Structure 1
Amino acid sequence: MKNVKTLIAAAVLRLNFHLPAFAAVEVQATPCRSTKVGTISANAGTNLGSLEDQLAQKADEMGAKSFRITSVTGPNTLHGTAVIYK
């Protein structure tokens, strides 16, 4: 019985130390319970995924909970803007 309690305690402690960090999440529509706090922009290569990653990183740096991409332009080098929400 003591071993079972020890295993459960160890499992709970392990979960507490390995929780993922909270990062800004891309949303497709304006979140209803969030407040718009600004806009961000980024330049990336020809890959839309790298542009999304850069915008997510900037949103995290500004303390945003989520962001919504509002525009992407450029034939070779992509430029994108997004609205950030808290």
Structure 2
Amino acid sequence: MKTIKYAVCAIALTTLSFGAFAAHSVTPLQAESMTKIGVVSADGATTLDGLEARLASKAAQAGASGYRISSAVGNNKMEGTAVIYK
């Protein structure tokens, strides 16, 4: 029983800490007040949601607090780019 409690607690803390560092999508108006720090790209996603998740993950890995998708193309294999901001 203690093992289950510890496992649930560890999962909850991991989820909370990941959320603290995740980049989020920003609007063009919000982007105006942020500093552009680069561009990330992703490919291999099968849906737009999957592509957005990959771009958000890459933005977070690059240290960005926000991103704005600038292109998305493809049918079965999506690829796209996003401008990242801090």
Unaligned runs of 5+ in 2: 1-15
Unaligned runs of 5+ in 1: 1-17
Q: Cα deviation per residue 1:18-50 (whole Å; 9 max; x = unaligned)?
A: 675131111131522211111000013321111
Could you tell me which amino acid in structure 2 is paired with residue 42 of structure 1? A
Runs of 4+ displaced beyond 4 Å: none
Measured in 1, the distance between the counterparts of 2:39 and 2:64 equals: 10
1:22 maps to 21
Give the TM-score, by structure 1 length. 0.71
Q: Cα deviation per residue 1:46-83 (whole Å; 9 max; x = unaligned)?
A: 21111111101100000001000000011220001000
2:39 maps to 39
Give the TM-score, by structure 2 length. 0.71
The percent identity for this pair of structures is: 46
Number of residues of Structure 1 aligned to a counterpart in Structure 2:
69
* Root-mean-square deviation over aligned CA pairs: 1.7
